[in-house]
Amino acid sequence: MTKKQASTDDLIAAIIQGIDDVKGEDIQLLDLREIDNTVCDYFVICSGNSNTQVNAISGAVQKIVSKELKDKPWHVEGLGNAEWVLMDYVNVVVHIFQKNVREFYDIESLWGDAKITEINPA
pLDDT 10s digits, 38-75: 889 999 999 999 999 999 999 999 999 999 999 999 99
Phi first, then psi, for residue 80 (nearest 5°) are -60, -50
pLDDT at position 5 is 52
Q: At what angle do helices 8-21 and 51-69 cross, to 10 degrees?
A: 140
pLDDT at position 122 is 64
Q: Residue 2 pLDDT more than 50?
A: no
pLDDT 10s digits, 3-52: 445 699 999 999 999 999 999 999 999 999 999 888 899 999 999 999 99
- Cα distances from 99 to residues 39, 48, 91, 96, in angstroms, run 24, 6, 25, 9
- Residues 62 and 74: beta-carbon distance below 8 Å: no
Beta-carbon-side half-sphere exposure of residue 60 (alpha carbons within 13 Å): 20
Question: Which numeric CATH code is attached to 8-119?
Answer: 3.30.460.10
